[in-house]
Structure 1
């Protein structure tokens, strides 16, 4: 029995070593990172969509009563939520905890720093935006109007440029932290669709959206503009298109965020007034 156990352990270690070599030498090798990560992001979206469809059919009674387009949006928001959680965690890691963009590191200008892992994560996000944008166009305007199209196009172009060029990844990750608000927005839709608009959960989620949006999509963007100003001498060394993205995309997204924030405040006031 001990001999079989040792052989099993050795076989597992052998497969593990082969998998690590595959990831290091191919999936995370510099020439292949953009392609494997984008493809992986698209395939992950398809997998999550199918899993959401399967789980929802068994565990959510309200799912069966939904229309075809509602079921598609239900599954699609599952993809959106998972991507938001993933990219928020990775963005916070790179911006705050990782040494890659730290001012203490004396390895060139921050604006030009990148790594195979940071590029891979951006590629997964590009795959998501491609898949989600495709679904929005396919079912337009059922999954979102022109504001969603513009948001995804700006995000896709800026993230893809940062992934392919290696420029401005620090600011790309700072902007992507704003995806922290997406799970709350999706939960609001789920609760509304499930007929729980008058529940305490709906109200608490609305309050959470308000504070999350204020922090991640309003105050954060003011800090991004301030940091870009402090490092403008670095930004001005980027390629012209890269500079346009750093200065332009956060500005456009900030305006959209403020417009959406006004709607959130109006909706929250309306909800609170009904409960008095």
Structure 2
């Protein structure tokens, strides 16, 4: 496995990852979660080898997906494209990532997810100092939690949600192009009344085509014991699309400056001195007694 060609984005996940400390030229970037292991591997010149028989069983990422995880995923991906030569793209090439992420959410009526993804894009555009100011993510987690109303798992009633299928019965290719051309009904008047009512299993949760034709989408978890329902809203769709377009314009204008800031800030914020300063205990308030630093034996004899 060690001899196989590795893509530029190959990394070692924190679950099973041992590395020589002396070979680490960069400490992790303060992403808080999601992306710190990717960043650490890309920044350091490790030759990563996989071991046969070493596995990790985790909960399905599809079921764990939420506006908060989508926020974190988009945020670290954008930073990596700004920092690393191996992942460098043009301003527009990089902007296609958040635009695609948001469109995937918008076409599935997941407006809260799209809102969180837009927040991630705008946070990255604040520069590397944003990560230093929000190192524990307390404020951002609260802001994202405040967004979530529809996309939260709830117990499914015994009767279960009902379905009404018409457009979703179209032949697969026709249904696919119908969904794209109409932006899944967002260009059709009165779609909230005429669109289908669909119930989708966990396998379809992360996919766009199964949502095409639907104006009310109910997603169920693996056990079909919990679910949530999102509904079509032209107002929310076009409001988010307009804000996305404005963010795209700001990104295009500031991309060169932003890339330079991240390349400089990344080196500073992955240094030992940065983490020693960040993790140092706070200074005691003025006038408080100095902490007892004498050895335990000396302190006991003094008493």
* TM-score (norm. length: structure 1): 0.24
Q: Could you tell me the TM-score, scaled by structure 2's length?
A: 0.22
> Which entry has the higher C-alpha Rg, 1 or 2?
2
Bigger fraction of residues in helix: 1
Flag the structure with higher strand content. Answer: 2
